[in-house]
Amino acid sequence: MKVLCIANRGDALPTQYFDPRIPRGPRSEFVVTPGQTYVVYALRFLSNQVWYYIDDDDHEWYPIRKPAPLFRVVDARLSKYWGIRVAESDHGSNVLLAFEEWLSVPGFYDRLTDREDPEVATFKERKRQMDEEFPE
Amino acid sequence: MDTDEGQDEDPVSLHKYLYAGANPVNQRDPSGNDFDLAGSLTAMTSGVTIFGMSALQSAIVIQGVTGSLFAMSLAGIGAALEGKSPDQIADATGSMTTMAFGALSAIGGSVAVSSKLAAYALAVISVGGGGWTAYNQYQKGNFTAAVYYGTIGVLGGILAAAVPYLRGSTQTAPTVVLKGPTPSVEPTWLGEQLILEEAEANADVIIDNVDLGDSPRLEANYGQGEWVKMKWTHQVQGAPTGVAGQSDHYVIHFFKNLDTGESVEFKFKNRL
């Protein structure tokens, strides 16, 4: 799955993406570039929100979620490496499409963002596979 | 107390605390004259099987044999201490009554510790019965036997009272040990201090708020609320970009309680 960035400011977002407890507003900028395409490494449906996990312009060691309304889908195929996890949480329905390790290993993404070596290595390999799956 | 006077040729029957079938930990005998087989069986949860029998059947056999052996042993020791002849000791030890009573009482008493109330009752019975028997032996001049029965009664009472707590402790769910708080990073110069303050005031990127494994730890250390992991990126103007091994931005991660606004455990995940 690939998406094309069509906006990088908060004013492109519907109201459900704003939380008064977070200093995010219409003028907030996201670290993505309009006109650039991004491979989606995971997809989350959370209540009435949709988030794409991409390698944003900070190019960190982990994919970070971005609101779907900032993008347009340009390759609608789902990755063959994805599975699905469905759960109910305090935030409502929580559906995650991601690669196996993320779905099956508790705390995987948590440790990945903490830059734990095994998780970083796993994501690096999964990223390589999905980048090959959805080439430029 | 056992109201049965007992028989001299069967020393076990003299034990006033033998409600517990010489097995006060596992035996229940509230009336002093019978035992609760059904209740005992419910406590047989070991799951051990022998000779192809079911776990329940195996448990009954194991309890019965164990109780018989224990009662026979106790009867022999009691008879010896009372100065019985070798033949009388042998008779007491091998008494069918002793074996049967020990087996049945062991089976019947296996759930005696299923409730604290039952265990406390057994403790009282054990101490009272042992004391009463000890007193009778003392009156008869059997000082050694008096000490023996008194000691058995007291030990049985202590054990009966203690076992529910031991059982409780072994059945407690594993305790989850949560790590303590992690101190925020110490800025090495004023610029980093300002960047951290900037992150706390302006961070608007939530890394994770639904699968955050640190939530229980954060709630335990800092208080209840919706904890999220936040990210802030500080671009350094004029820093070299695109140079291998060099960074042009700081990345700060920290946890924020969205309900209270508290921010904790700042870390530089990337720094110049």
For residue B178, being part of any structural domain is answered with no
Q: Please return the burial class of B67, using the count of CB atoms within 10 Å of its CB with bins 0-12, 13-18 and 19+.
A: buried
- Whether residues B133 and B207 fall in one domain: no
* Residues B93 and B133 placed together within one structural domain of the fold: yes
Q: In whole angstroms, what is the distance from residue B10 CA to residue B79 CA?
A: 8
**pLDDT tens sequence across A103-117:** 999 889 999 999 999
* Contacts across the A-B interface (CB distance below 8 Å): 50
Q: Smallest CA–CA separation between B152 and chain A, in Å?
A: 53
Q: What percent of chain A has pLDDT over 90?
A: 79
Q: Print the domain residue range for A52.
A: 2-133
The boundaries of the domain holding residue B229 are: 190-270
- Strand arrangement, sheet containing A37-39: A37-39, A2-5, A71-75
Task: Note the ipTM here.
Answer: 0.89
Q: Which residue did the predictor score with more confidence, A31 or B178?
A: A31
Rounded distance, CA B17 to CA B122, Å? Answer: 9
Distance from CA of B183 to the nearest CA of A (A): 15
Residues B163 and B260 placed together within one structural domain of the fold: no
Among B29, B170, B177, B9, smallest CA distance to B111 is for: B29
Q: What's this model's pTM, rounded to 2 decimal places? A: 0.56
The answer to whether residues B80 and B201 belong to one domain is no
What is the structure's pLDDT at B39?
Answer: 42
Integer Cα distance of B40 and B79 in angstroms: 29
Q: Is A4 on the interface with B (CB under 8 A)?
A: no
The C-alpha atoms of residue B112 and residue B36 are separated, in whole angstroms, by: 9
**Are residues B202 and B134 both part of a single domain?**
no
B165 lies in the same domain as B195: no
Domain total for chain A?
A: 1
**Same-domain pairing of B195 and B129:** no
Distance from CA of A65 to the nearest CA of B (A): 7
Cα within 13 Å of Cα(B218), Cβ side: 21
Domain count within chain B: 2
Pair B26, B142 in one domain:
yes
| B141 and B225 part of one domain | no
Question: Would you say residue B124 lies in a domain?
Answer: yes
**Rounded mean pLDDT of chain A?**
93
Say which of A23, A31, A115 has its CB closest to residue B233.
A31
Is residue B130 in a domain?
Answer: yes
Please give the mean pLDDT across all residues of chain B.
73
Residue B152 shares a structural domain with residue B217: no
Q: Are residues B249 and B117 in the same domain?
A: no
